[in-house]
Structure 1
Amino acid sequence: MYQSKPNYPPPHATGFPMSTNSEYYAPSMVPSALEIHTPPESVAWSTGLCDCCDDVGNCCMTCFCPCVTFGKIAEIVDKGSSSCGTSGALYTLIMCVTGCQCLYSCFYRSKMRALYSLQKRPCGDCCVHCFCEQCALCQEYRELKRRGFDMEIGWLANMEKQGYAAPTMPMPPPTQQGMTR
């Protein structure tokens, strides 16, 4: 004969995962991880890593002076909080002192991927920058360019060009002259 299981109340939450074999487990009552948080879909890069023929001028600049290309990328990715010159100079300093500028630039690739939900292709950000530094910088430059940025004018000019008002600096109060007779 068939015996039904007794109708016990569910156990108190302990914080420990329950096995699927438990008689108290009710899959319909527990949301899946996908229902709780679904990250945005990642999109492909607009150009491949080795598509340098798309912008020969930038390719040559990056080959001979990667600090300039990096500085332009960093200014846009940082949304103007760091200047092209400062980022490029820091890149050059790291390159001259340690030779590990690829670790600095891979940080910006990761930041850019997160900003635009780009795929981690063809491999991890550090691998791309350690083994193909110039190609990675060229790809990032092309990506920002295809997203509508004029890489030659910087962040603020791009925001003005796109119709966003530049933040205005408040005028200081007029200063008074020293004592007069």
Structure 2
Amino acid sequence: MEPKQHHTQQQQQSAPQHPDQHQNNAHLDPHSSQWQFGLFDCCGDMKACLLGCCLPCVLHGKTMQRMHDPSLQSHELLNHECMVWCCMPRTWLYNTATRTRIREKYGIEGDASSDFKTSYFCTCCALIQQDREVALRAGHYPPDPQGYQGQTQGMQMPRHSGVQDAQEHTGHRHHRQER
């Protein structure tokens, strides 16, 4: 075996394997007694993440609406639950009750104490986890995320640069004057 080939094989063998790198949703069980999404797995669903961090009332309203209407056919952006969230001075307390309701409805293990701590210390993360969990258990969690898909064909350079296109369009071209 040549030294270069041996070195390449060593690199491949020592390269850490990350099973979650190409994670799919095949491991998710909507009938499990455990939360299927981690509390700090917030960025797994960027739309929910942005709503949970920037407009938590909207995400809470959507989650609660999905519990009543899994298809979200009648979902309104600013629904009753969203308005209640906005009026609550201590949203973490309201979310504790919501989290307990979700756990009880779907048979997820836990207790009121853990619901309280999660809602108090990690309100945004709890909202995101709850939304993803309810969507999964209601049968409306998105299919496997595709992530970035590279181009199937090679890159192609544009025919002209923007400056050349503009010059041709206007008929103006700068010519060098010879001296």
**TM superposition score normalised by structure 1:** 0.52
Moved over 6 A (4+): none
Matches within 5 A, 1:65-80: 65-78=55-68
- 1:124 match: secondary structure: helix
- Contact map agreement 2:39 2:126 (CA 8 A) in 1: yes
Q: Is the counterpart of residue 60 in structure 1 residue 50 in structure 2?
A: yes
Matches within 5 A, 1:19-168: 43-78=33-68, 85-94=79-88, 98=89, 100-120=90-110, 124-147=114-137, 148-149=139-140
Aligned-residue offset at 1:105:
1.4
- Contact map agreement 1:103 1:129 (CA 8 A) in 2: yes
Aligned-residue offset at 1:79:
5.4
Aligned length: 105
Aligned-residue offset at 1:134:
0.4
Q: Deviations over 1:85-114 (max 9, x none)?
A: 1100110011xxx2x011111111101100
- Contact map agreement 1:42 1:119 (CA 8 A) in 2: no
Partner of 2:20: none
Partner of 1:155: none
Supply the distance in 2 between the matched residues of 1:51 and 1:68 (Cα, whole angstroms).
19
Q: Percent identity?
A: 30
Which fold has the larger relative contact order, with Cα–Cα distance below 8 Å and residues 6 or more apart in sequence? Answer: 2
Q: Deviations over 1:9-62 (max 9, x none)?
A: xxxxxxxxxxxxxxxxxxxxxxxxxxxxxxxx9711111100012101210111
- Choose 125-134 or 68-77, whichever is displaced more: 68-77
Supply the distance in 1 between the matched residues of 2:107 and 2:48 (Cα, whole angstroms).
24
Aligned-residue offset at 1:127:
0.9
- Contact map agreement 2:132 2:141 (CA 8 A) in 1: no
Partner of 1:17: none
Supply the distance in 2 between the matched residues of 1:91 and 1:53 (Cα, whole angstroms).
23
Q: Deviations over 1:56-85 (max 9, x none)?
A: 1210111000000000112233559xx761
Supply the distance in 2 between the matched residues of 1:42 and 1:55 (Cα, whole angstroms).
20
Letter in 1 for 2:56: P
RMSD (CA atoms)? 2.6
Gaps of 5+ in 1: 1-40, 152-181
**TM superposition score normalised by structure 2:** 0.52
Gaps of 5+ in 2: 1-30, 143-179
